[in-house]
Structure 1
């Protein structure tokens, strides 16, 4: 089994903090996600996470006007410059202070950062495509200017359209106008008059007006006018001119405060987000309200507008919401929300296309792997959901919850069709489903019994007694014969629940059982215990065959309150979740640690360790103790600094009076890193982990750019085409094309092979290339319009190499799944096309009997028909129907729907042409 898994995507979290960005063309949205940045493609409905990661949570991101460079800055001022198209990190840089604002100039040559009260202007690092001379700078970051003058943190920076001036809005109640370079007659200007800190300041399209917005909901219009009393004494210079407030507007939102705002100069749109989850859209300069809408249950932290002014993006950090709203049609373009609490478990769907996650917030979310979006959320559970599992056949999902219910979900109709409960109220902590989908078993921490239900009837069939402690894990054998349970009584039991005598075989262990996993062949089980041991047992003999100590492998990282080294900290030296790989050769294990371990089952050797996170904003990622963060009152990260916040709403204590736990809806200040669930994909090419950071997906990169086989000097594209066109040796040409592995050349050779020679070519095709040919044909079946041609290739491959494919099912499992998906998609397309057009053809054929037009009635001799004469409406409908059938057969599978009138008119026109051509 290959072990070179690499991070590929991050799901489960869509927005944490910081600012949102639209790409220059307005089709992509950039969102900070913890210490990473996720890109949402709003047109193609896909998302991906950039491969780099910061050491702290990202606080600010900026994008050049060309969209090729992304500058992301974390809470400590550490910046990473990334090439967006190539997804490559170019440079690391430190601003040494916390960055509060960031903005690139429209010219793309400068950017401004707000470092507390100070402003710094920097040159944008040059790239080969942006530097005319083609010479790269040795120092990518060069400071141009430094401006001081504000008395509090800078909140927002906005450039003029000509990149000569920029505005800065600060918490010191003022906005200031700065020039990029010295301008004749210009002095930096202060715009004061607000009563609370400013949220933003913007230039109008003609740059004759400036709009400033403050937290108390005041909007001021500033214009460059003559000073009062100087109207009659105007000189040629600007000494008698000044920026003055000409209009004051106010958002009337009762007790809500304004949290964020954004202005679109081209369309004069001002959008503002409030602390009660409302946002308002206004047209300036008259301040006409277009509409208001409630989009969140908590405050909106950031809002931005795309270049065209049609889409508004909102971020709400407390609930992890990310919304894109099209205000003209009043519809959502994107609506995503992560889990409010930590994820408890996860499972892959049987087809490997979706991942289901459960959480303490009582929600069940289904994530689409290809797009990276959550496609459905179930909220029927009233308490934390502890486990989830699919039935092996069909699209049925089972979940267990602390609310005392087991629920079955239909993922085709997206509904809860069965609920299972026990005689007394229990909080179920684990669950298992029989492979046939007929039996559900669940265990609880309140009762020592295992409850068994029938899926068909929903009745409680039995209660299995035998454990002397809470049941923590359950697992059915993949062949459906046995049930294994683990408990805190330091035993695991093997139950034969389908026999007349439901006997259990106890397996004695040295510590409490945390998790149990069955090998895919049902011959072995792995058990993880609290003392960090992994033991492997043969099911048939009920005896231990191997074991390993994972305490040293899993331990790592010190929590913020630890006073000792990570090697001596208790509670992090065990695996709380384990899973076998698809082929059963490896075991994946994770726990209350930042490491995921991959073990070989045969050699009992640690193959690889994956680091979940290096984010220092999460407790448990530091290796060494930082003494400067320890104070007399305890660790600095655990001190309550809420009362020292500068804003009134941040100082308010919302904890419940008399409650020791505080407000249940309040998140912990610093979460601890842990892995609550791991799972391998059915194909074995990827695995996912439910961690504090989110849903991490690691995969093996199958997109190999250049991987030649058996190359020599004679094999070139020119020689390949010569063999194809001159020698007509199709087998040799195809093998040479696969050796070069150039996509364009393979496609040219593939399509040039006559359909009559396909079986002969496939029969003599070398076995080493069969998997590659199958993968290529499967991809062509999904993309190419040559449907029958691709089907002939698939049939020939199955006929000639069926025995090899069966023997090497594990190697070509992915290719076979792609083939099956392509065939299913093709079948649906053909069925849909036939259903749409069969009635049209019947209608056209029925017109013959309806009109009852014959040659004798019209006295029309077809043999003496003159094509130069003008055609009337009378013609033979059999010709129409026959031409329509031929035309429909030639249509590609991706043909869009046509109206009946279009079909009839096209049929008439084509039938006339057919008639003329026949004569």
Structure 2
């Protein structure tokens, strides 16, 4: 169904703010992207975004030691407990105040949370120590204890390896040691001596040493020792004189840079420190030996974490949206990703649907791989914001328009800019259209009312189409390449026949300014979006209006903080700025400066579904009704600048322009507004993407989470697999054999499947096993004599899963190459066999029979016997392999 599109992935941004997490096995990295969490699989080179979303930006993440429970907390202290392997939210909870630190204990039974100056320890939901009375079914979060004593915000929490104690470091220049349960003789201890707020504190591997790092670059090593000068041998006095004291002091000399983050790996004694100037250093302690010092950013490094083995270091920088994973031993990047610095302006799918191109106001063009979710290349040749992009229908050529006055053509095979088009005068181009053959490119500008046309081969300006009396806002070529359609602010849409002998234009009059023009894939209809919120559909051949859709009520939604009227009465959000046809032309997708994306049926004019882009309250325009409690004498609380009340000097400084809505996203005073700047359907029609303030949202009809219904437990054995096979449950037996990974058992089950049931089994086979089954069938076809049976399997798998194999061709490339080689080999052998049989038959039929030697019956019998003898490859009857004749 066309209405079954569901959120699939979030691209375009890789890190916003908060802490990073490595999975317990060290192969996956979890990063907060706004109000969602993205998981980067560093081994399989994939990424996916968890489907649930918070009401505000995520501030802290924590993962239990088993790696199955993920706790995410937003800026307001509202938490979501989720099952990470199944990607589902289990429970919602509120800590009622902002969370500044969060950490699970190594045992996984408890987690500690820092709430400002207060510390709380909670039981982990569904743990064995919770009791068997089922009380946690109704109250999963049970508080164990509350600790107070800090005088400023808690910065970090670190547990001991036995989960009995934990360290908390705070901005009040101290670190404190707490016990999970009351210990005999233990008194909560305060570690004081730093001159600036502490960044973090850790236990050593043997728990005999504590390391603390402060903002001014001081590293203190603490040891449990006797007070200097005490020589008494009395045990009681000796115990009283034992204290945690500073054993050594070290300092990071980085000029005026301050320490912004730090991480410690106890097993290898590695300390990684990030600085405000973009440098990071790796130190071996307690000797304090500097192993590496590198620069990875021009801005602050917000967070750093180390994986379980201590080989990979993950860094996050929020100002530029950078996410890096560095392997320090080989000095190479495992992951190096960066989102757009500014808002995305336009998007387009590649003709094969495997890539998405995004352009933004930061002047960058990024190419994203749909299957992996990673940015594979970034073009930075444009010197100003890139406003539009378009693919040539043939070849891997991308065209982009920019405010710097240039149109550039990009080769996406060699990843280079091979042609640049400019106008005689300096213009800021805002729209672009490319001829399907790739021979001609057109561009429109808001500065000039003419449409410029260039030749792609020569780069020369061919013509300037004059006729519009206002800026050209949108351009589109018909897919058959016959005409080009232009929309303008002069309330008209013009259809140009630029390849005709006399260039003529057919004007279509509308009521208000034209915002977007798009042509249906069959070139017979065009959809026009206007400023009054209407979608009008016109016939291209007859230049007549066919139908009208009023979308003002559908697209309106979301009240900004500065709005004086309700969302239903605000005129600024009541129009579609971007429209896209589906692959079959039966539906249109429309979005604008609101939080809604509307899917319409063209023929009936019915709204099929409304997609909500974001529920993030950190963005402006996501609320339908404003809370009157947030109104103050100075205006809405969200618009009041409260940076002067911050405790740190760098937080109080504000160098931004008042009311600036573009530029550095971290320095703007007003909230970024939720909007959809561009939408696009995939060529196959199975997915669509939307460029929004949150990033690049992908909605798909396919369930990206591959559910495996058979777990490997003690009940799955070769004996039970054979028993299932005897019962006739072939699919279950096949999956059980795949789970056991026994080649002989898998071959036995495979060959026992009836040939008539092969299409049904291929249809019901889960996609999770598709690659393994393809590989096994190809090997069987290359080795076993069951030629027709193997070909039946290959045909059934390709017919049933052909769409998946095409859309994920990069993932299934090795298996498809193996299948192609086997099929080609079978074809070659069959052709050679048929040719040899033809020659043998011709030879036997041409052999003369002499009259009178034998009668007709005997001659025929002799001929058949000779044919049977020749039919064996080696010519020895009874020993060779029969290659022909029934």
What range describes the TM-score normalised by the shorter chain of this pair? 0.7 to 0.9
Q: Which residue in the other structure is 2:838 paired with? A: none
- Look up the SS of the partner of 1:752 in the other structure: helix
Q: What is the alpha-carbon distance in structure 2 between the residues aligned to residue 769 and residue 601 of structure 1?
A: 38
Q: TM-score, normalised by structure 1?
A: 0.81
Q: Which residue in the other structure is 2:533 paired with? A: 532
More displaced stretch, 633-642 vs 51-60:
633-642
Residue by residue over 1:23-64, the C-alpha shift from the partner in whole angstroms, topping out at 9 and shown as x without a partner, is: 111111111110111111111111111111110110011111
The gaps in structure 2 that reach 5 residues or longer are 710-720, 739-745, 823-886
Q: What is the alpha-carbon distance in structure 2 between the residues aligned to residue 674 and residue 376 of structure 1?
A: 26
Q: Which residue in the other structure is 2:219 paired with? A: 219
Q: What is the alpha-carbon distance in structure 1 between the residues aligned to residue 395 and residue 192 of structure 2?
A: 66
Q: What is the alpha-carbon distance in structure 2 between the residues aligned to residue 799 and residue 72 of structure 1?
A: 46
* Residue 486, structure 1, aligned to residue 475, structure 2: no
The change in CA–CA distance for 1:254 and 1:389 in structure 2 (over 3 A counts) is same
Q: What is the alpha-carbon distance in structure 2 between the residues aligned to residue 285 and residue 362 of structure 1?
A: 46
Q: What is the alpha-carbon distance in structure 2 between the residues aligned to residue 61 and residue 818 of structure 1?
A: 33
The change in CA–CA distance for 1:192 and 1:509 in structure 2 (over 3 A counts) is same
Q: Is the 8 A contact 2:130 2:136 kept in 1?
A: no
Q: What is the alpha-carbon distance in structure 1 between the residues aligned to residue 817 and residue 722 of structure 2?
A: 40
Give the C-alpha shift of residue 411 in structure 1.
Answer: 0.9
Q: Which residue in the other structure is 1:474 paired with? A: 475
Q: What is the alpha-carbon distance in structure 2 between the residues aligned to residue 384 and residue 478 of structure 1?
A: 27
Q: What is the alpha-carbon distance in structure 2 between the residues aligned to residue 304 and residue 363 of structure 1?
A: 29
Give the C-alpha shift of residue 635 in structure 1.
Answer: 1.7
Q: Which residue in the other structure is 1:43 paired with? A: 43
Q: What is the alpha-carbon distance in structure 1 between the residues aligned to residue 722 and residue 509 of structure 2?
A: 69
Q: What is the alpha-carbon distance in structure 2 between the residues aligned to residue 259 and residue 506 of structure 1?
A: 60
Alignment of 1:581-620 (within 5 A): 581-620=582-621
Give the C-alpha shift of residue 136 in structure 1.
Answer: 6.7
Q: Which residue in the other structure is 1:161 paired with? A: 161
More displaced stretch, 134-143 vs 586-595:
134-143
Alignment of 1:448-467 (within 5 A): 448-467=449-468
Q: Is the 8 A contact 2:342 2:360 kept in 1?
A: yes
Alignment of 1:676-695 (within 5 A): 676-695=677-696
Q: Which residue in the other structure is 1:844 paired with? A: none
Q: What is the alpha-carbon distance in structure 2 between the residues aligned to residue 156 and residue 282 of structure 1?
A: 20
Q: Which residue in the other structure is 2:508 paired with? A: 507
Q: Which residue in the other structure is 1:173 paired with? A: 173
Q: Is the 8 A contact 2:224 2:244 kept in 1?
A: yes
Q: What is the alpha-carbon distance in structure 2 between the residues aligned to residue 792 and residue 301 of structure 1?
A: 61
Residue by residue over 1:768-808, the C-alpha shift from the partner in whole angstroms, topping out at 9 and shown as x without a partner, is: 99988999998678544616849979987999999xx9xxx
Residue by residue over 1:331-371, the C-alpha shift from the partner in whole angstroms, topping out at 9 and shown as x without a partner, is: 11111110000000101111111111110000011111111
Q: Is the 8 A contact 2:771 2:812 kept in 1?
A: no
The change in CA–CA distance for 1:111 and 1:195 in structure 2 (over 3 A counts) is same
Alignment of 1:316-355 (within 5 A): 316-355=317-356
Q: What is the alpha-carbon distance in structure 2 between the residues aligned to residue 773 and residue 173 of structure 1?
A: 60
Alignment of 1:280-429 (within 5 A): 280-429=281-430
Q: Is the 8 A contact 2:777 2:790 kept in 1?
A: no
The change in CA–CA distance for 1:820 and 1:88 in structure 2 (over 3 A counts) is closer
Give the C-alpha shift of residue 228 in structure 1.
Answer: 2.5
Q: What is the alpha-carbon distance in structure 1 between the residues aligned to residue 664 and residue 64 of structure 2?
A: 38
Q: What is the alpha-carbon distance in structure 2 between the residues aligned to residue 662 and residue 360 of structure 1?
A: 12
Q: What is the alpha-carbon distance in structure 2 between the residues aligned to residue 484 and residue 346 of structure 1?
A: 19
Give the C-alpha shift of residue 819 in structure 1.
Answer: 10
The change in CA–CA distance for 1:459 and 1:252 in structure 2 (over 3 A counts) is same
Q: Is the 8 A contact 2:20 2:30 kept in 1?
A: yes
The gaps in structure 1 that reach 5 residues or longer are 708-716, 725-735, 806-810, 834-919
Give the C-alpha shift of residue 685 in structure 1.
Answer: 1.0
Q: Which residue in the other structure is 2:12 paired with? A: 12
The change in CA–CA distance for 1:315 and 1:814 in structure 2 (over 3 A counts) is same
Give the C-alpha shift of residue 454 in structure 1.
Answer: 1.0
Q: Is the 8 A contact 2:31 2:38 kept in 1?
A: yes
Q: Is the 8 A contact 1:575 1:592 kept in 2?
A: yes
Q: What is the alpha-carbon distance in structure 2 between the residues aligned to residue 181 and residue 799 of structure 1?
A: 64
Q: What is the alpha-carbon distance in structure 2 between the residues aligned to residue 459 and residue 272 of structure 1?
A: 54
Residue by residue over 1:184-214, the C-alpha shift from the partner in whole angstroms, topping out at 9 and shown as x without a partner, is: 1111111111111110011111111111111
Q: What is the alpha-carbon distance in structure 2 between the residues aligned to residue 621 and residue 108 of structure 1?
A: 37
Q: Which residue in the other structure is 2:121 paired with? A: 121
Q: Which residue in the other structure is 1:671 paired with? A: 672
The change in CA–CA distance for 1:744 and 1:453 in structure 2 (over 3 A counts) is farther
Give the C-alpha shift of residue 117 in structure 1.
Answer: 0.5
* Residue 148, structure 1, aligned to residue 148, structure 2: yes
- Look up the SS of the partner of 2:621 in the other structure: coil
The change in CA–CA distance for 1:812 and 1:530 in structure 2 (over 3 A counts) is farther
Q: What is the alpha-carbon distance in structure 1 between the residues aligned to residue 154 and residue 808 of structure 2?
A: 57
- The structure 2 residue matched to 1:817, chosen from 802, 806, 816, is 806
Q: Is the 8 A contact 2:676 2:690 kept in 1?
A: yes
Q: Which residue in the other structure is 1:65 paired with? A: 65
Q: Which residue in the other structure is 2:518 paired with? A: 517
Q: TM-score, normalised by structure 2?
A: 0.84
The change in CA–CA distance for 1:572 and 1:743 in structure 2 (over 3 A counts) is farther
Q: What is the alpha-carbon distance in structure 2 between the residues aligned to residue 741 and residue 505 of structure 1?
A: 66
Q: What is the alpha-carbon distance in structure 1 between the residues aligned to residue 439 and residue 694 of structure 2?
A: 36
Give the C-alpha shift of residue 238 in structure 1.
Answer: 2.0
Q: What is the alpha-carbon distance in structure 2 between the residues aligned to residue 282 and residue 799 of structure 1?
A: 58
- Look up the SS of the partner of 2:60 in the other structure: strand
The change in CA–CA distance for 1:775 and 1:21 in structure 2 (over 3 A counts) is closer
Q: What is the alpha-carbon distance in structure 2 between the residues aligned to residue 434 and residue 794 of structure 1?
A: 45
Q: Is the 8 A contact 1:683 1:814 kept in 2?
A: no
Q: Which residue in the other structure is 1:551 paired with? A: 552
Q: What is the alpha-carbon distance in structure 1 between the residues aligned to residue 768 and residue 664 of structure 2?
A: 51
Residue by residue over 1:866-890, the C-alpha shift from the partner in whole angstroms, topping out at 9 and shown as x without a partner, is: xxxxxxxxxxxxxxxxxxxxxxxxx
Report the count of equivalent residues: 796
Q: What is the alpha-carbon distance in structure 1 between the residues aligned to residue 246 and residue 769 of structure 2?
A: 69
Q: Which residue in the other structure is 1:96 paired with? A: 96
Give the C-alpha shift of residue 464 in structure 1.
Answer: 0.6
Q: What is the alpha-carbon distance in structure 2 between the residues aligned to residue 819 and residue 157 of structure 1?
A: 42
CA RMSD of aligned residues (A): 3.3
Residue by residue over 1:397-447, the C-alpha shift from the partner in whole angstroms, topping out at 9 and shown as x without a partner, is: 111111111111111111111111111111100001111111111000000
Residue by residue over 1:803-828, the C-alpha shift from the partner in whole angstroms, topping out at 9 and shown as x without a partner, is: xx9xxxxx998268369889976786
Give the C-alpha shift of residue 95 in structure 1.
Answer: 0.5
Q: Is the 8 A contact 2:781 2:790 kept in 1?
A: no
The change in CA–CA distance for 1:289 and 1:144 in structure 2 (over 3 A counts) is same
The change in CA–CA distance for 1:820 and 1:270 in structure 2 (over 3 A counts) is closer
Q: Which residue in the other structure is 1:915 paired with? A: none
Give the C-alpha shift of residue 742 in structure 1.
Answer: 8.0
Q: What is the alpha-carbon distance in structure 2 between the residues aligned to residue 774 and residue 287 of structure 1?
A: 53
- Look up the SS of the partner of 1:232 in the other structure: coil
Give the C-alpha shift of residue 648 in structure 1.
Answer: 1.5
- Look up the SS of the partner of 1:566 in the other structure: coil
